[in-house]
Amino acid sequence: MTNEDTFSTIDHAIKLETGKTIRVWETFPKDNSLVKNNTILIASGFARRMDHFAGLAEYLSSNGFHVIRYDSLHHVGLSSGNINEFSMTIGKKSLLTVIEWLKRRNINKFGLIAASLSARIAYDVANEIDLSFLVTAVGVVNLRDTLERALKYDYLQLPIEELPEDLDFEGHNLGSEIFVTDCFKHQWDTFNSTKNKMKDLNIPFIAFTANDDSWVKQNEVLELIESLNPEKCKLYSLIGSSHDLGENLVVLRNFYQSVTKAAIALDKGSLNLDINIIEPKFEDITSVTVKERRLKHNIESLELA
């Protein structure tokens, strides 16, 4: 059977009362895999779409996981809204909406994998939702510090009326007034706010840092981990990686392998990554990536028609 026969990404549209739509992609376990106990929900990093995680979904589904991805409202990707209206709270509401959608489909056992800025959202809700486990990769723990490092200036020190109209974050215009106002109103900005949200965490949790990450301080991630139950959390480092996990194929493969091992371990109730995984072929990952980009373009074309 060829990869053409086994492409199994299914598109769903969650219609909201506001008239907006959250797009969700579902990938089923491979037919020859040992199906796992938990579904995996992937929350993409800032300015990353769900199709950017085609490779990770292929790794996870090859190892028996049912995988769910989504694009946040007011973000890049297929869901409604423009990125200049994005805020951390909108990102949080998007995640919680997808979780409620899963529960309506009787999917109640799931682990959450969150990268970069979405990890800060995951830290905010981890004690509010019934997760089986949490995995984060280059997860932001100190939003204000990360923004200053990424933007080369601490814009959060300015009065609202002195902010530029947009903040150029990785080539995307982030509406400064909306984003900054929300940061202060809902206390997203400080490292202490992250620690406070995570202080009573009682689920298994694995965090991956990158040893060459110039946006997230590894010592702060370590401090967060050390404040939690040591029997339920563990910190690993992605050697040779920066904050951009897709900067080259070696780093990307290490990310896929490590996160897949973490998901398998946590699905079995372990924090030990010394396990074997099924590794999909490079050409299969490439094929799925192309097909998902095509699916994305087809959906965009239908919406514009």
Please measure the distance between the N-terminal and C-terminal CA atoms of the chain and give it in whole angstroms.
35
Backbone region of residue 17 per phi and psi (left: phi > 0; alpha: psi in -120 to 50; beta: other values): alpha
Residue type, 89: T
Mean pLDDT by 10 residues, the chain (305 residues): 57 95 96 92 92 95 97 94 95 97 96 97 95 97 96 94 90 91 96 96 96 94 96 94 88 95 97 95 92 91 74
Q: What is the pLDDT of residue 305?
A: 60
Considering the domain boundaries, does residue 177 fall inside one? no
Q: Is the distance from CB of 198 to CB of 120 less than 8 angstroms?
A: no
pLDDT value, residue 2: 36
What range does the domain containing 78 cover?
3-153+187-304
Tokens of 181: 């106002």
Sequence-ordered alpha helix ranges (H) in the chain: 3-6, 54-62, 88-104, 117-125, 143-151, 176-185, 191-198, 218-226, 249-267, 282-304
104: which residues sit within 8 A by CB, 6+ positions away? none
CATH of the domain at 238: 3.40.50.1820
141 belongs to a structural domain? yes
Instruction: Quote the tokens at residue 270.
Output: 């372990």
pLDDT (0 to 100) of residue 213:
93
In a domain, 63, yes or no: yes
Give the pLDDT score at 8: 77
Nearest of 74, 99, 91 to residue 20 by alpha carbon: 74
Residue 160 lies in a domain: no
**What is the model's pLDDT at position 14?**
97
Is the separation of the CB atoms in 56 and 245 below 8 Å? no
Q: Residue 273 domain-assigned?
A: yes
Contacts of 235 (CB under 8 A, 6+ apart): 206, 207, 208, 209, 221, 222, 225
Q: Does the residue 114 lie in any domain? A: yes
Number of independent structural domains in the chain: 1
CA distance 78 to 99: 18
Catalytic amino acids? 116, 213, 243
Nearest of 270, 277, 287 to residue 256 by alpha carbon: 277
Rounded Cα gap, residues 41 and 21, in angstroms: 18
Report the alpha-carbon distance of residue 160 to residue 61 in Å, rounded: 45
So what's the pLDDT on residue 110? Answer: 97
- Is 149:171 a contact under the CB 8 Å cutoff? no
Alpha carbon of 113 to those of 40, 43, 221: distances in Å? 7, 6, 16
Q: What span, in angstroms and rounded, lies between the C-alpha atoms of 26 and 226?
A: 35
Residue 150 to residue 169: CA distance in whole angstroms: 7
Spatial CA neighbour of 46 closest among 67, 18, 65, 74: 74
| 284 domain residue, yes or no | yes
Give a yes or no: residue 178 inside a domain: no
Which residues does 182 contact at the CB level (< 8 Å), separation at least 6? 87, 88, 89, 90, 188
